[in-house]
Amino acid sequence: MAVTRPGKWDSARIGAGAASIRTDRGWLAIYHGATADHRYCLGALLLDLNNPAHVLARSQNSLMEPVADYEQKGFFGNVVFMNGHVMEGGKIILYYGATDAVICGARLMLGDVLESLNGRCYR
């Protein structure tokens, strides 16, 4: 089970994203995390294929963070959160919300996301 981590980008809160993506390494879950000052970012978990309660690896650093003006200023600023995704070959087309005001899209390479986990377990 994933829990908050003091001093990290997901130190105060974590929340589910879209459905997990089955990979040959495990279930890839993209989730949101926040700090005590309400800055929301996206990160990833790799879960065991046979026992998804077992976390194999976790993002040390965020995959996405609010850097664009529309992600920093709005109804609830400094927020990006997962809404859904579509797999297109090795690309994850990610739909995310920003500042609780807009829906955005981004492309991530599946291999890059998996590589960012380095196969190590971060709890």
Contact predicate 23/48, CB 8 Å = no
Q: 121 pLDDT exceeds 60?
A: no
Mean pLDDT of the chain: 92
User: What pLDDT band is residue 1 in, cutting at 50, 70 and 90?
Assistant: low
Residue 8 Cα distances to 24, 34, 74, 77, 82, angstroms: 28, 9, 24, 19, 19
Q: What angle do CA 73, 79, 84 make, to 5 degrees?
A: 125
Q: 90 pLDDT exceeds 90?
A: yes
The reported pLDDT for the residue numbered 2 is 77
Instruction: Give the model confidence (pLDDT) of 13-24 as tens digits.
Output: 999 989 999 999
Q: 104 pLDDT exceeds 50?
A: yes
Domain ranges of the chain: 13-117
Instruction: Give the model confidence (pLDDT) of 49-72 as tens digits.
Output: 999 999 999 988 999 999 999 999
The reported pLDDT for the residue numbered 122 is 44
Average pLDDT over residues 21-43: 96
The reported pLDDT for the residue numbered 123 is 41
Distance CA 15, CA 29 (A): 11
Residue 98 Cα distances to 16, 103, 104, 115, angstroms: 16, 6, 7, 25
Q: Which residue has the tokens 């996206």?
A: 42
Task: Dig out the tokens for 7 from the structure.
Answer: 């001093």
